[in-house]
Amino acid sequence: MNPRVPTALNPGDLLQRVNRDVERSILRARNGIRYVRGTHRPALGATPKDVVWKSGKAELWRYKGGDRRYGPPVVIVHSLVSRSYILDLRPGNSTVEYMTGAGLDVFMLDWGVPDALDADNDLERYVDWYLPRALAEARRVSGHDEVTLAGYCLGGVLAALYAAGHEDANVRNLILMATPMDFNEMGAMVALLREGRLDPDEMIDETGNVPADALYSGFYMLAPTTEVAQKATLLENLWNDQFVEGFQAMATWSRDHVPFPGAAFRQLVELLVRQNILMTGSMPLGGRRVDLANVRGNVLNAMAERDNVVPPPAVEPVMELVGDPARRQELRLPGGHVTFGTGSSAFKHTMPKLTGWIIDHSDPLAEAPPSGAADRSKFTEEQHGDSTN
Amino acid sequence: MPANQPLWLRTVLRVERAIGEPIESVVHSDTYFDLVSTTTRVRRRVVGTAEGVSRRCLHLLNLPAGSDIRGMRQQLARMERRLNELSDDVAELDGNEPPPGVT
């Protein structure tokens, strides 16, 4: 007997099921029309914030929200290829919101959308020009001498180079989230750029940047048919407002890439991809050699176990190369490159563990309310309670 | 795959994987990357040749071509970049900006 077919369905259950299906069909029709028309889109990056510093397209945001109970401030450095609102996707599903709610003083360094004016931005421009100035402002407005610097994806490379290349960086904690170190392990993402295939200039358009479409195509080709599965799952869950909202938010972000500044792209291809230079432990930058072992603070290497954009083997060498060996820690999280920072898995694993680690390596502020101590132990417990990931 | 999914959805997901996996192995192969590289190069060469021909025709009539406009926009962007750098330098000299902290 098939266990999925009920042997006897009483009239009450049957009526309830019919009611539910009718109700869902109505909701499906309503949400389907909204989806096709593109109305009722969720608010993205909605956590309230102030712009505290701006230069060119780069902006430093300071998030508002709960009491700031811990210092130093957390400055998130976003990647150069995608939009930063992935870490603040929507209310209730936002790493930034989670961190501010836990009492951290969170800043985001957003690079904006590069255009022809940014074509000459090289890695030095980011590491030696934007980062020092943005972090000086974060220190000034927060009243702390130190920062916790968290880099996501390529933002992690910039953060590590800054922390290693500036004696006065004052980075107490360096968090590298899905940060590639060994580009030989990056697989399909960089395969087109290997020696003998495309030269960087062949991907750069008339604005002097790599167009956002080219970057989107790169990500799309990692799994070209999954969109079918995603759309089918959406159809099944179209009655569920929350699911549709989450789907729309994610779909918007995954198509919302930004152009990659040409000068930085040339360096990325030549040094990071072709020479795999980070694996030597140092890199030439601005006429000097930046040694990754010179990072003085605590280092947390956070990686997603099912990341197919920056796979774990590309991230793992952080544990051998960045900072003082005695101050390195590794955090393996479930999920992929994107679900790393958003979604139910992130809410359950990434957000509490990252926040817990940061609080563990921060100081309670002098004027912190007594409840701060309770929160500290809560996040610490969550972090250490589940050591399997 | 959750058991509470309807049969149609489970079927779609299975079919998607059955088709998707071989496609992924093709688009992640060296042959595919070599093909994309060659196609991109050929396309750029064809576009470049066509642009060259049309540019010469337009120049014969003393008209600017798209590449002239593009070149001019690039020069303007370069100039604006330089102006921005200079105004940043001036702002820092005036003490309007926080100390850079560059060592």
Cα–Cα distance between A119 and A204 in angstroms, integer? Answer: 10
In chain B, which residue's Cα lies nearest the Cα of A235? B9
Q: Give residue-wise pLDDT tens across range A116-167.
A: 999 999 999 999 999 999 999 999 999 999 999 999 999 999 999 999 999 9
Q: Give residue-wise pLDDT tens across range A207-238.
A: 999 999 988 888 888 888 989 999 999 999 99
10 Å Cβ neighbour count for A192? 22
Measured between beta carbons, the chain B residues lying within 8 angstroms of A221 are: 27
Q: Does A167 touch chain B (CB under 8 A)?
A: yes
Q: Do B37 and A168 touch (CB under 8 A)?
A: no
Measured between beta carbons, the chain A residues lying within 8 angstroms of B28 are: 187-188, 191
Q: Give residue-wise pLDDT tens across range A92-115.
A: 889 999 999 999 999 999 999 999
The average confidence (pLDDT) of chain A is: 88
Burial of A335 (0-12, 13-18, 19+ CB in 10 A): buried
A85-91 mean pLDDT: 90
Q: What is the pLDDT of residue A362?
A: 96
Residue in B12, B36, B98 closest to A136 by CB: B98
Percent of chain A having pLDDT more than 70? Answer: 92
| SS3 category, A332 | strand
Q: Do B103 and A168 touch (CB under 8 A)?
A: yes
Tell me which residue of A116, A111, A187 sits closest to A155, measured CA to CA.
A111
Q: What is the pLDDT of residue A188?
A: 82
Taking the CA of residue A350 and the nearest CA in chain B, the distance in Å comes to 23
User: For residue A342, what pLDDT band results from cuts at 50, 70 and 90?
Assistant: confident
Taking the CA of residue B49 and the nearest CA in chain A, the distance in Å comes to 15
Q: Give residue-wise pLDDT tens across range A230-280.
A: 999 999 999 999 899 888 888 888 889 999 999 999 999 999 999 999 999
10 Å Cβ neighbour count for A280? 12
Residue in B33, B77, B99 closest to A136 by CB: B99
Q: Do A120 and B100 touch (CB under 8 A)?
A: no
A4 has a pLDDT exceeding 80: no
Cα–Cα distance between B71 and B90 in angstroms, integer? Answer: 29
Cα–Cα distance between B45 and A270 in angstroms, integer? Answer: 23
A75-80 mean pLDDT: 96
Domain ranges of chain B: 1-63, 66-97
Q: Give residue-wise pLDDT tens across range B22-40.
A: 999 999 898 999 999 999 9
Q: What is the pLDDT of residue A382?
A: 41
pTM (2 decimals)?
0.86
Q: What is the pLDDT of residue A192?
A: 87
Taking the CA of residue B65 and the nearest CA in chain A, the distance in Å comes to 14
Query: CA-CA distances (angstroms) from residue A160 to A72, A128, A174?
Result: 18, 12, 7
Q: Please list, residue by residue across B82-92, b when 16 or more beta carbons sit within 10 angstroms of its beta carbon and e when fewer do.
A: eeeeeebeeee
The domains located in chain A, with CATH, are 49-384 (3.40.50.1820)
